[in-house]
Amino acid sequence: MENPSYNTDIVRSFVTWSLVWGLVAVLVGVIVSFQMINPDLNFGPYLTFGRLRPIHTNAGIYGWGVGTIFATFLYMVQRLCKQPLWSDKLAKFQLWFFNATIIASAVTLLLGYTTSKEYHEMEWPIDIMVVILWVVFAVNIIMTIINRKEEQMYISLWYMMAALIGVAILYLVNAAAVPASLFKSYSAYAGTNDANVHWWFGHNAVAMALTAPPLAMFYYFLPKSTGVPIYSHRLSIIAFWSLIFMYLWTGAHHLLWTPVPDWVQTLAMAFSIMLIAPSWGSVINGYLSMNGQWHQMKENYLVKFLILGITFYGLQTLQGPMQSIRSFSAFIHYTDWVPAHIHMGTMGWVSMISYACIYYLVTRISGRDLYSVPLANLHFWLALVGQLLWTVPLWVAGVLQAGMWNAMNEDGSLTYTFMETMVEMYPFWWARGIAGVIFMIGVLIFIYNIYMTVRKKESAPSTATAEGRA
């Protein structure tokens, strides 16, 4: 059973709330995807596409993504340090404040209080809430690490600490603004500078919130699920330093061909390509950790989620560098190709890993068997099919539209008007809407399974659950 001094209640609460916000994110995602097919689904002024889309992205990143980060980090840090949480009170405050922040974000975004900067739409009062939240979280984790009983710091702790520092720097710099009123501010930077600062933030939010934390989770929960250690701790160390060094140079790959200085774009392109190495360092480490254990892919549902997750991470970090090449960017930038890239990352990588972590945490903390392993397998397939049916058609759509935008007649005039290219997207958008529904059904089944597991009356603690084996 549990070591009583570890605080697992807080982990359980964060799991619960990240599930709530995860469901909200997916639900709003489905709504906006149908709004793109039928504009009659816009109910102005509050429920229009322009206001709902940021709620989808922010609920996804800050509610589901960061909520899961909070849950898993608070769990991992105690285990890896063999040390209870530094402050339970602070953690409780963090939980309360986290939900207050997410709710405040959703309400203000609906009301139209927005900075318009992608993934940083919340206005300045909420920025302040986010900063407080992050400081509280970081202090608790760092103090626990400093007080730790286990001398060795496992690689997951490295990624956790890097994420804590990285997010803090990024968020603060990009948030700089001059308030004009309670819910309206103007960026401290103008035009091209603002764009460059923003995408330095934007891309590294990907690094520090959607890459480093899931890697920390992967490195922890994979060995815990399989029962064998990772292939090489030293390889993970090399990959770590290279990754956090290189990521910060690449923001301008979102701004290729724009007025941002050329040399910044060129550096971004070069470093993006070099990023393949440290990214694949982790992928290969993950695969080699499965040596002699591949049979677990069949027997252990947790391993399925984890290995598929790291596989999509590998694909993502090949596709990303490709998109960072000027000539390729000229073609696919601004098309549906990019949302498809995003969703392989969020639905295929971040969510797959998070699902495994949550299954593990819930069974572990409650000391019970999962309510239904077949349902978990069904969830796996719905998540996988949902994601692929989302991304593959939209890659095709992106290439199709890019081709039409660039098509020229012999006399040097354009072949298609904008609308002629845009109406070609509708069938693909239908596929995406349906894919979203499939993915959402998976999430509902997931939540049901978790709920039935913790609800179950006869609590027969079992050792099999510990390793997630069915």
Enumerate residues 94-153 that contact another protein by CB under 8 A.
112-118, 142, 145-146, 150-153
Sketch the per residue contact string, 350 through 379, with another protein: x for CB under 8 A, - otherwise: ------------------------------
Cβ 319 to ligand HEC shortest distance, Å: 25
Please choose, from the candidates 282, 356, 303, 469, the residue with its C-alpha nearest in 3D space to the C-alpha of residue 71. Answer: 356
Interface residue with another protein, options 27, 264, 325, 434 (CB under 8 A): 264
177 DSSP β-pair partners: 187
Q: Which residue number, 133 or 208, has a Cβ lying nearer to another protein?
A: 208
Where does this chain touch ligand HEM (CB under 6 A) — which range of 95-103, 142-150, 323-331, 391-399?
A: 323-331
Q: Which residue number, 49 or 405, has a Cβ lying nearer to ligand HEC?
A: 49
320 binds ligand HEM (CB under 6 A): yes
316 binds ligand HEM (CB under 6 A): yes
Cβ 15 to another protein shortest distance, Å: 19
Which tokens sit at 309?
Answer: 């997750």
Cβ 39 to ligand HEC shortest distance, Å: 7
196 binds another protein (CB under 8 A): yes
Where does this chain touch ligand HEM (CB under 6 A) — which range of 99-107, 310-318, 360-368, 384-392?
A: 310-318
Alpha helices in 176-275 (DSSP H): 191-209, 212-226, 233-247, 262-274
> CA-CA distance, 81 to 84, in Å (whole number)?
8
Residues 28-57 that bind ligand HEC (CB under 6 A): 36, 49-50
> CA-CA distance, 68 to 443, in Å (whole number)?
14
206 binds ligand HEM (CB under 6 A): yes
> CA-CA distance, 48 to 42, in Å (whole number)?
5
> CA-CA distance, 255 to 194, in Å (whole number)?
12
Interface residue with ligand HEC, options 407, 422, 452, 464 (CB under 6 A): 422
Where does this chain touch another protein (CB under 8 A) — which range of 98-106, 127-135, 166-174, 301-309?
A: 166-174
Q: Which residue number, 45 or 374, has a Cβ lying nearer to another protein?
A: 45
For residue 275, the partner it binds in another protein, ligand HEM, ligand HEC, none, with Cβ less than 5 to 8 A by kind, is ligand HEM
202 with 254: CB under 8 angstroms?
Answer: yes
Q: Which residue number, 241 or 426, has a Cβ lying nearer to ligand HEC?
A: 426
Cis-peptide into 45, omega within 30 deg: yes
Interface residue with ligand HEM, options 350, 376, 397, 425 (CB under 6 A): 350
419 binds ligand HEC (CB under 6 A): yes
208 with 268: CB under 8 angstroms?
Answer: no
Residue type, 437: V
Task: Residue count of the chain, please give it.
Answer: 470
Residue type, 419: M
> CA-CA distance, 395 to 373, in Å (whole number)?
33
**DSSP structure class, residue 415:** S
Q: Which residue number, 45 or 461, has a Cβ lying nearer to another protein?
A: 45
Interface residue with ligand HEM, options 118, 194, 424, 467 (CB under 6 A): 118
> CA-CA distance, 147 to 386, in Å (whole number)?
43
Q: Would you call 53 helix, strand, or coil by DSSP? A: helix
Which tokens sit at 6?
Answer: 């570890």
Burial class (CB in 10 A: 0-12, 13-18, 19+), 458: exposed
Q: Would you call 429 helix, strand, or coil by DSSP? A: helix
Interaction site with ligand HEM (CB under 6 A): 118, 202, 206, 210-211, 250, 253-254, 272, 275, 279, 313, 316-317, 320-321, 323-324, 329, 333, 338, 341-342, 345-346, 349-350
* Contacting positions for ligand HEC (CB under 6 A): 36, 49-50, 418-419, 422
